[in-house]
Amino acid sequence: MSKMSRRKFLKTGAKGAALVSIPAFFGANPVAAILSSAGGELTLNDYYNLFKVDETIIHKIMSIALERGGDYCDLFFQHRISNTINLEDNLVSRANTNVDLGVGIRVIKGDQTGYSYTEDLSLKSMSLAAKTAANIASGTKAVAPVELKLHETPDYYLIESPWEEVNADKKVPLLQTVNDRMMELDNRVTKVQVSFADSNTHMMVANSDGRIVFDYQPMTRMFAFCSAEQNGRREENFYRLGGRYGIEHYSDDNLNRIAKTAVDRTVTLFDAVKPEGGEMEVVLAAGEAGIILHEAIGHGMEADFNRKGESLFADKIGKKIAEDFVTIVDDGTLPNMRGTINIDDEGNDSHNTVLVENGILKSYLHDHISSKHYHVKPTGNGRRQSFRHVPIPRMTNTYMLKGPHTKEEIIGSVKKGLYAEAFTNGEVNIGPGDFTFYLKSGYLIEDGKITRPVKDVNIIGNGPQVLKDFVMVGDDPQIGEGGGTCGKNGQRAPVTDGMPTTKVSKITVGGVS
Amino acid sequence: MNNKERMELAKWVILQAQKSGAKDAAVNVNMSRDIEVEHRNQQLDKLTDATENSLKLSVYANNKYSSHSTNDLDKNALSKFIEEAVSMTKYLSEDKYRILPDPKYYQDRKEIDLHIYDPDYESVTSENRVKLAREMEATAMGISEKVVACTSYYSDSYNESTKVHSNGFEGSRRSTAFEIEIEVTVCDEKECRPNDYDTKTVRYFKDLPNHELLAQKAVKRAFSKIGQQKIDSGKYDMIVENRARASLLRALFRPMQARNIQQKRSCFEGKLGRKVASEKLTLIDDPFIEYGLGSQLYDGEGMATQKRVMIEKGVLKSYYVDNYYGKKLGWEPTIGSSTNSTYEYGDKSLDDLIAMMGTGILVTGFIGGNSNSTTGDFSYGIIGKYIEDGKIVKPVYEMNVSGNVTELWNKLVEVGNDRYIYSSNRRASMYFKDINFSGV
């Protein structure tokens, strides 16, 4: 099957669904029926049906939301079905499904936000939520509703068939395959766990400026965890793959790669040593090491931290902060990446925003409130975990463009240091800029050569300092194919990071003395 | 809907599930209301207020298991939801351990009031909420012009939940929680913006500590970070302040989980009855603490809770064993995860511990890092103070503390008396000898 736009495949999919004997898990919500009845492309009307509203109802809710003098309001409707299935001890014996439906109503007055949400989409419940959100303002100014105009969006996540149509019986063999391959690959493997997740999100945003927009957002991810034992010593590691893909992403090649990488990254650790702790040269491998950009600069460039005066990047726009060959972007438009969005959760177009261009700090990442505050166009970074949360500036796919050096040159230049390859998590302290990222596995570099493996060490640095210390940047940029989940203000957002092979001249690595 | 109606709904769902082919089923029906206030720039920055419902159904059919949740509690919608939930289960593998807990574990549930629901919850007004946030911010901003950013928070939550299992479990509970928090950023001469926070969570509104004092403390803490730097790598004595994130304790708890043991991802496998820490460490899981944030009469699987010694004077006495992994291991279940963690506390205050240590690092916060339950290795970023001759000499940051869980906990030399009651993990400040720090 060829990849189609979501509007087209939803039609095809609906036809297909009628032929499939096993019901996909639609939950109690009418998505299946809506899709089946959608004659042709999915339209705004189908979304109105899904959320049981129309323009008149939306106008009514908006009028209530703005009745106390709010400047602006938006309604964020969301329907999401999430599935996970897990394999352990050779059995796929656990599955979970979550159906989530609701609307979040936000009222803005200046920089102030009033927010409420309800999972009950009746006029009564939505009116009550709108009244609650309206309380952020305390006037009586009535605002006449503006006619809603559909805003068309591009499609950065073409897939073959929506997850709504993919049944558990199609997924179970994928987990089984990965498990069996991992077990076959190396007889030191003792335990395998595979976890598979997919979700289907339909969202619609309408705002008091008259914009209405809808989007279908697929997402999937597979984790393979490996435990192995050799001469009484045990090690663990994992690999993951994911993005806004359909089930076709789990090709034989990709399944093999997940299995092989998870096993390779585990059994290598039998030779691992603990590095000597302290400051050293660190070479970041191309790909998922981009987490360093996310922590060292990405968060500090989210406009809310700057608007509130918390970030140490506040007032640094236009200043030189890194070498000429350092260019870092946040690009929500990369096809099928985990951090990709057609439209942000405030209804603004997704963008490729340049954070640092040839070493010069260029732009913050904005949401609606901050773009008004700074009098700039929104950058399409207003994101939220669900209808229960207010949108805030978030990263999408953050990566560094290619530089002038080769990987060999970079590794060859290190006398004694670390080659950092696989990561689990990171964190930044916005004000002082100290950030960390946890190295699950990597290697020592001795006299310009990769030697013994290392594992489980935290790396800690300072954001502005580390940007200055990017002394060599490779010509081999890669995106970390597993992507990550970023946490901020209690909200999770799917993101991706990437970078070319890069040398940091000095950073503190955890270890022994 | 009240808890009685939730109970009826849950029983109806179980019947429907059984009609659709499930042998057994477990149902949770929850309602929660969350209110959050944020104050910044002398004005209300954000006000959120919402109530929501949810239902979770676990299906056990022919040794197959799946769980499903929804927030649409309309009966017509639920009928279809239940049918599909049961139907989906058939595509999974049979697993003889996927069964509800033996009803004997439901017995002996205590009938005591844990005081986790504040009867005065309803009388907390919007004005009360906003006032606390407003006054915290005003206090912090009023201290110095060097306070460049400050956001204060107030939030409360109300929760009601009902749980029914087809093999005889029934339970309902309600709880409240109230939280105040403040984040403060100050500036120094070098464009650095040190920040700090303070936060307190309690079960009863009246137990919130003085909010203005909290704001003053947060500002003081932020100022005390001006000039922070990393110091030489090496072995230092370490005190971890009670309120710092419980990173090192989590590294200890993870290998104690039955799942990790069964999956061969635990460095504590086979260590029951053996020494895993110094004799200064006694860890008790106590679900019955009045006003406790982790207090509960039955756990997530309906099993009646018990007070349990997990580690006694350094000797591992019990694992955290849930129903499923207990069955897989052939062990009696204990509890799947910790309720309230309490310790055998010493008689020294944090100041006494600092004086006792003489020279070393006081860790006031952790940043990032992780641990490996298979090998026990850990590595975390830290923020703190360098101590010499029992006195704070300078603030330190951008350093890592690394080691191995067993090694670390064997180096515990003293537990303070400053029990931290604002968390379900009621840790105190702890003093360790000879720990690896990486800095310059």
Give A74-88 as a DSSP string.
Answer: EEEEEEEEEEEEEEE
Q: Where are the CATH 3.30.2290.10 domain residues in chain A?
A: 6-222
Say if residue A30's pLDDT is above 50. Answer: no
Which member of B71, B375, B381 has the closest CB to residue A458? B381
**How confident is the model over B385-407, as pLDDT tens digits?**
999 999 999 999 999 999 999 99
Nearest to A102 among B71, B228, B370 (CB): B71
| pLDDT score of A290 | 96
* For residue B346, pLDDT beyond 50: yes
Rounded to 10°, the helix A55-65/A123-134 angle is 30
Mean pLDDT of A428-435: 90
Cα angle A169, A170, A172; round to 5 = 65
Q: Which residues of B touch A236 (CB under 8 A)?
A: 265, 372-375
How confident is the model at residue A31, as a pLDDT? Answer: 53
pLDDT for res A2: 46
Query: Could you read off the pLDDT of A264-313 as tens digits, one per residue?
Result: 999 999 999 989 999 999 999 999 999 999 999 999 999 999 888 888 88
Tallying the residues shown for chain B, one arrives at 440
- pLDDT above 70 covers a percentage of chain A that reads 92
Which residues of chain A make contact with B233, given a CB cutoff of 8 A?
A: 277-279, 508, 513
Q: Chain B interface, mutation test: which of A434, A468, A509, most B Cβ atoms within 10 Å?
A: A434
Strands A449-462 and A502-509: antiparallel
Least confident of A131-145, B223-237, B377-391: A131-145
A55 in contact with B at a CB cutoff of 8 Å?
no
Interface of A with B in 407-466 (CB under 8 A): 424-438, 455-462
Mean pLDDT value of segment B22-49: 95
ipTM field: 0.93
User: Which residue of chain A is at minimal alpha-carbon distance from B44?
Assistant: A112
pLDDT value of position B345: 98
Distances (CA, A) of B201 to A248, B117, B286, B360, B422: 47, 13, 18, 31, 5
Is A38's pLDDT higher than 50?
no
Pick the CATH number of A6-222 from 3.90.550.10, 3.40.50.970, 3.30.2290.10, 3.30.565.10: 3.30.2290.10
User: Which of A97, A223, A390 to mutate to test binding with chain B, by most B CBs within 10 Å of its CB?
Assistant: A97
Interface of A with B in 101-140 (CB under 8 A): 101-102, 111-119, 129, 132-133, 135-136
pLDDT digits (tens, 9 = 90+) for B126-179: 999 999 999 999 999 999 999 999 999 999 999 999 999 999 999 999 999 999
- How far is A454 from chain B, CA to nearest CA, in Å? 12
Can you tell me the mean pLDDT for B285-314? 98
Residue A15 has pLDDT above 70, yes or no: no
Instruction: Read off φ and ψ for residue A101, nearest 5 degrees.
Output: -140, 135
Domains of chain B: 3-33+49-101 (3.30.2290.10), 121-223 (3.30.2290.10), 234-438 (no CATH)
Q: For A431, which of B84, B94, B194 is closest by C-beta distance?
A: B194
B374 and B265 Cβ atoms separated by less than 8 Å? yes
As given in the structure block, the two tokens for residue A405 are: 């050096």
DSSP H stretches of helix in A215-320: 252-267, 291-293, 303-307
Give the predicted TM-score (pTM) of the model. 0.93
Interface of A with B in 65-94 (CB under 8 A): 85, 88-89, 91-94
Return the pLDDT at A391: 97
Dihedral sign computed on CA atoms, order A282, A283, A288, A290? positive
Is 90 exceeded by the pLDDT of residue A258? yes
- Three-point CA angle A279, A270, A233, nearest 5°: 115
* Partners of residue A486 on adjacent β-strands: A493
Cβ–Cβ contact A266 with B under 8 A: no
- Residue A298 per-residue DSSP state: I
CA–CA distance, B264 with A227 (Å, rounded to integer)? 7
Q: Rounded to a whole number, what is the distance in Å from the CA of B9 to chain A's nearest CA?
A: 16
Alpha carbons A473 and B154: distance in angstroms, whole number: 45
Distance in Å, alpha carbon of B373 to nearest chain A alpha carbon: 9
Mark which residues 202-231 of A lie under 8 Å from B by CB. 227, 229
